[in-house]
Amino acid sequence: MSRAARRRLVLTIGSPLLLLLIWHLVTTQGLVAAIILPPPAGAFAALQDMLVRGYSGVPLITHLGASLARVGVAYVFGAALGTLAGLLRGRSTGFDAVMLVPSEIIRPIPPLGLIPLFILWFGIGELSKILLIGLAVFMVMMVNAQAGTRAAGLDSLRAAQCMGASRWQVFRFVVLPSALPQIMTGLRVAMGTALSILVASELLGGDRGLGFIVLDASSFFRTTYVFAGVILIGLIGLLSDRGLALAARRIVHWEGRR
């Protein structure tokens, strides 16, 4: 292992350990009330308790499965439709004009502001939760895919056209490779967005999911369980982001080598 790799490994492991140490010192010295910020040991004890006994009479694996199913379905459909819309907006001025005003009106609205409408339109079942997450993912991916599409160099486009490439070939061999780095970045951002919207979406009712655990525990001031739920969501985010980053390095292997 090179010196740079060792240094990166030490920093990667050391930074969370330092945060845990600061968290431990702040709570053990009584600088913050435990009801507001429980000690790390309390949060991990609550996590262990949920692993053994579940939460609210439901096994933790069931809560995990419910949240992952919602996020997974919403992420796949939102990312696919958002990428398609972004590519079309980047290549078609007409489609971009059609989408400009509606998308820019909806995009700044926080998901919490849409919850009453989603309840009214779709009820409090799974559909409203999935659509709320999917809408947020769609917006992120559309913006990133559009920006990536427009990153294709004009010289490259003209060169391909002069060589007799069809519109599909120009898209396949020039536009799409130029857009892929931005699309992969968008996928990572969209996953973080989907997980952050998860808690908000589970405001729509139900008794399953990590968001339910966080919201229910906060209602009864069970702060250790709130932090345990947040830790689980954060770990899912970390693992998914690292997986997407690895996929990006393999798929967009030419990035940074030009």
Nearest to 243 by CA among 18, 50, 75, 8: 75
How confident is the model over 118-130, as a mean pLDDT?
86
Cα separation, 28 vs 22, in Å, equals: 10
pLDDT of residue 73: 95
Label residue 257 by pLDDT band (50, 70, 90): low
Strongest mean pLDDT among 23-32, 176-185, 186-195:
186-195
Q: How far is CA 215 from each of CA 27, 84, 114, 155, 228, rounded to the nearest angstrom?
A: 23, 34, 18, 53, 12
Label residue 85 by pLDDT band (50, 70, 90): very high
Cα separation, 214 vs 235, in Å, equals: 15
Residues 52 and 112: beta-carbon distance below 8 Å: no
pLDDT for 174 beyond 70: yes
Label residue 94 by pLDDT band (50, 70, 90): very high
Label residue 49 by pLDDT band (50, 70, 90): very high
pLDDT for 158 beyond 80: no
Residue type, position 214, single letter:
V
pLDDT of residue 138: 95
pLDDT of residue 124: 80
Nearest to 84 by CA among 71, 70, 95, 72: 95
CA 200 to chain centre: 13
pLDDT for 23 beyond 60: yes
pLDDT for 154 beyond 60: yes
The pTM of the full predicted model, rounded to 2 decimals, is 0.86
